[in-house]
Amino acid sequence: MTRPKRIDALVAAADTLHALDIDQERAVDPFGAIDRLGLDLVIAKLDNLLGAVLPDGHGGVLITSERPVGVQRYTAAHEIGHWILHSDHLRLDGASEVLGNPTAEWERQAQLFAAYFLMPPPLMEAVVARHGVKRGNVRPEQVYLISRDAGVSYEAAIHRLTTMELISRSEAAALHRVSRLDALKGAFDGHRPLDGYAEMWSVDETLNQVTLPVREGDDVLIMLPENRTTGWRWLDETALRLRGAAVRRPRPAAPRPVDGGHRDQHADAVAHFDTVVAASAGDAQPEPYADIEFPLTIVEDDFRVRGDVRTPRELERRRRDLAGRDAAMPTGEPPSVLVGQTGQRTVAVHCAEPGQWSLDLHYTHAYDPAAPSAAHYQLRVDVEPTPNHEYRLRRLAADLDTRLPGDPADDAVFEVKP
């Protein structure tokens, strides 16, 4: 691409950001930009296409519903670039045009427009500083965090860091050989989200009652200090209800001697009483709310003492080995066990539904129903819908607002006769 064409793409992206009055220090919403440009938007399953721009009428954009959110956003910005720079032509874009190295000049222009539009300098300067990126020493986990904060794909973040001259082309090639999911797990100590295409965030005790902006399907790691040897743990509301409903089982009475082959009636009564108490204590009852889907759901609960550098997968393998080993002690030196130390409780929370939600955790005794709460932590999240979900909601709202011939007005008053 010639230098004048490159400059045209960059200037067009900057002018569009200013014309739409978009905050360039926050993640850019390309779907909102499509709406503000007056273009029709359709998100649907497209065969072998990521997106398209239609010049007919007042214009429209098609985006595939079959790709992760980061790719959908980048494709939307790519199509905006086509509309701004090449509005008189129909453009059909597959993966090679949007994410690859196309030979057509107009496709390279649209790529450059999309990169600048979604990752303008103010935003990139902020995220690069936030994650400690230094030229010549950019790690895959840093690239993932930049892509997450900018709302773009892992590959798009690598390309933008290359244009910013923070990484060389050889370094970019090395980063491309690391998968997005591996880079994500590197950033979060081996943890991964429930949905491999979703994003992951983390908070600790210093971020109490701070609203975290996330997207539907994302997971949030809550990392809190905990000392399990004291019996005090972080409990959510469901665990508190279970603790409050617990009933102490009385010590069973000693068995009485059998006389003439007949059981003592008192022993039968004690056995029956034990059965009733066990049932009331919930030993055989299903877990409360098991069939209810909550907007925030705990999907992982991990505890690790300080000084234990094993990954969650290694710890899980160790627990399985201990559970399945024979009664005989294995030969060799026994494994070292860290006992009585304060560790870190890591709770993964899945954000399953759009909206503003909160999850409360209380640091209290896990087995004493009368124990007070020594500390309180509240996770607040503002869960945005995915582009697919938001598009369906908008279409539903439009269908409900469509007025057919003979429909009454919204403010119509009807007289009810007895």
Per-residue DSSP letters for 350-407? EE-SSEEEEEEEEEEESS-TTPPPSEEEEEEEEEEPPHHHHHHHHHHHHHHHPPPTTP
- 8 A C-beta contact, residue 75 and residue 100: no
At residue 41, the 3 state secondary structure works out as strand
List the 219-226 sheet strands across, edge first: 200-204, 219-226, 343-351, 296-305
- Give the pLDDT band of residue 324 (cuts 50, 70, 90): low
Architecture of domain 204-244+292-324+339-390: Sandwich (2.60)
Radius of gyration in angstroms for the set of CA atoms belonging to the chain, rounded to a whole number: 29
Q: How confident is the model at residue 200 (pLDDT cuts 50, 70, 90)?
A: very high
Altogether, the residues listed in the chain come to a count of 418
From the CB of residue 189, how many other CB atoms can be counted at a distance below 10 Å? 16
Which pLDDT does position 116 carry in this prediction? 95
Calculate mean pLDDT across residues 269-278: 44
Higher-confidence position of 295 and 3: 295
Tell me the pTM. 0.76
pLDDT at residue 261 is higher than 60: no
Average the pLDDT over 36-58 and give the result: 89
| Lowest-confidence segment of 240-254, 288-302, 353-367, 374-388 by average pLDDT | 240-254
Mean pLDDT for all residues in the chain: 82
Q: What is the pLDDT of residues 277-290, one digit of tens each?
A: 344 444 444 444 44
Confidence of residue 394 (pLDDT cuts 50, 70, 90): confident
Could you tell me which residues come within 8 angstroms of residue 123 by beta carbon, excluding any fewer than 6 positions away? Answer: 24, 25, 26, 27, 28, 150
Residue 27, pLDDT > 80, answer yes
Query: Which residue would you say has higher pLDDT here, 371 or 396?
Result: 371
Q: What is the pLDDT of residue 304?
A: 84
195-216: average pLDDT = 91
Query: Worst-scoring range by mean pLDDT, 182-191, 260-269, 315-324, 364-373?
Result: 260-269
Cα separation, 378 vs 222, whole angstroms: 10
For the chain, what are the domain ranges? 3-118, 122-187, 204-244+292-324+339-390
User: 66-70, 153-157, 177-181, 265-269 — which is least confidently predicted?
Assistant: 265-269
At residue 65 the predicted structure's pLDDT band, cuts being 50, 70 and 90, is: very high
Q: How confident is the model at residue 41 (pLDDT cuts 50, 70, 90)?
A: very high
Residue 144 tokens, joined: 């993932």
Q: Mean pLDDT across the stretch 366-380?
A: 91
Q: Do domains 3-118 and 204-244+292-324+339-390 have the same CATH topology?
A: no
Each residue of 131-151: pLDDT tens digit?
999 998 999 999 999 999 999
DSSP 228: G
Q: What is the pLDDT of residue 217?
A: 95
Topology of domain 3-118 in CATH is Arc Repressor Mutant, subunit A (1.10.10)
Phi first, then psi, for residue 352 (nearest 5°) are -95, -15
Task: Tokens for 73, please give them.
Answer: 């956003």
pLDDT band at 410 (very low <50, low <70, confident <90, very high): low
Task: Compute CA distances 344 → 21, 222, 264, whole Å.
Answer: 44, 10, 53
Q: Residue 9 contacts by C-beta under 8 Å, 6 or more apart in sequence?
A: 81, 85, 109, 110, 112, 113, 116
Q: Does residue 132 contact residue 142 with C-beta atoms inside 8 Å? A: yes
What integer pLDDT is reported at residue 350 of this predicted model? 96
Q: What is the rounded distance in angstroms from the CA atom of residue 172 to the CA atom of residue 138?
A: 9
Q: How far apart are CA 230 and CA 22, in angstroms?
A: 52
